[in-house]
């Protein structure tokens, strides 16, 4: 059996009882280690808590060497641990498909993830549209495919969850070209860097999917004892010190309910300014009034 087990957001004890029971009977345990991190637990603490050794699974192992993970999983129990929920990343779907093609039984044990815990900021989950990922820009690579998804969400009034990039066990271009297995220190995108990149692409595109005055809410260390929220415009949050990782950002849609706004105001430096910013933003994508045509008259 291959078990895909969600670990939750932060603590070693966030795992479900069923997930813990499954780990304890597994012969091998892998921890996916590139889409997110467990903020309040080290590998050693997890191993002590589970009573099992853990193999850290980087992107290369999961995407290219997954046969090692699936080896003998038709004869013994293997656990693949994922911070958050197992299906928070598409690579995990691929792992399940590969297992099924090999006739390996799969059991998925779910847990909390940023995709549902984001509701802690006060925005209602059914008012969210497409989720996008913001990667670190480089001098030669500044992707903006996510921009159109934000524009689509905003046009129909929905909020956009922006997941911020993390870099774990990444090589520099020079080391990669020279074949040197030297890895860069881990990097985690901050709220300010995300907002700066948002503003840069909007300036380049110029179609106003959002503006510097568009309201947003910064989410930091969600699920931990140090979780924090900050409401403001994208321009204001570009100067916000969000502290230690991990971080996410939500760009508001124009259909911001009064209860949502009331909740967000608790995280604003200037509550009345936030209210006015939201009202102004709601007008921007407001549908044009219906005007009857000759066809309607007929």
Known binding-site residues for S-adenosyl-L-methionine equal 9, 85, 88, 113-114, 164, 222, 247
Backbone dihedral region for residue 122 (phi beyond 0: left; psi -120 to 50: alpha; all else: beta)? left
Alpha helix (H) residue ranges in the chain: 17-24, 43-50, 59-63, 66-70, 90-101, 114-117, 146-155, 173-177, 191-205, 234-237, 258-265, 271-284, 294-297
Long-range contact pairs involving 124-127 (C-beta distance under 8 Å, separation at least 24): 124/257, 124/259, 124/260, 127/157, 127/158, 127/159, 127/253, 127/255, 127/256, 127/257, 127/260
User: How many whole angstroms separate alpha carbon 223 and alpha carbon 200?
Assistant: 30
Residues tagged in the binding site annotation? 9, 85, 88, 113-114, 164, 222, 247
| Two tokens, residue 73 | 């999983």
Q: Distance from CA of residue 141 to its chain's centroid?
A: 21
Residue written as token pair 């995300």: 194
């Amino acid at each position: 059996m291959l078990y895909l087990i969600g670990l939750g957001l932060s603590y070693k004890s966030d795992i479900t009882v069923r997930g813990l029971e499954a780990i304890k009977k597994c012969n091998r345990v892998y921890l996916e280690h590139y889409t997110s991190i467990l903020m309040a637990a080290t590998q050693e603490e997890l191993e002590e808590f589970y009573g099992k050794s853990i193999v850290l699974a980087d992107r290369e192992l999961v995407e290219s060497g997954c046969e090692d993970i699936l080896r003998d999983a038709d004869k013994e129990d293997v656990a693949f641990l994922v911070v958050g929920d197992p299906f928070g990343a598409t690579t995990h779907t691929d792992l399940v498909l590969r297992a099924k093609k090999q006739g390996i039984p799969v059991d998925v044990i779910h847990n909390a993830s940023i995709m549902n815990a984001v509701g802690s900021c006060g925005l209602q989950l059914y008012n969210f549209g497409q989720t996008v990922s913001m990667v670190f820009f480089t001098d030669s690579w500044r992707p903006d495919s996510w921009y159109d998804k934000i524009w689509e969400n905003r046009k129909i009034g929905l909020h956009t969850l922006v997941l911020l990039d993390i870099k774990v066990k990444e090589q520099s271009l020079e080391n990669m070209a020279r074949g040197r297995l030297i890895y860069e220190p881990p990097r985690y995108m901050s709220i300010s860097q995300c907002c700066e990149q948002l503003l840069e692409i909007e300036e380049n595109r110029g179609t106003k999917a959002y503006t510097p005055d568009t309201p947003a809410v910064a989410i930091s260390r969600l699920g931990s004892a140090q979780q924090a929220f900050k409401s403001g415009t994208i321009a204001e949050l570009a100067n916000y010190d969000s502290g230690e990782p991990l971080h996410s950002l939500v760009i508001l849609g124009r259909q911001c309910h009064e209860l949502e706004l009331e909740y967000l105001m608790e995280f604003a430096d200037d509550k009345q300014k936030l209210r006015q910013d939201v009202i102004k933003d709601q007008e921007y994508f407001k549908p044009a009034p219906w005007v009857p045509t000759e066809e309607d008259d007929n």
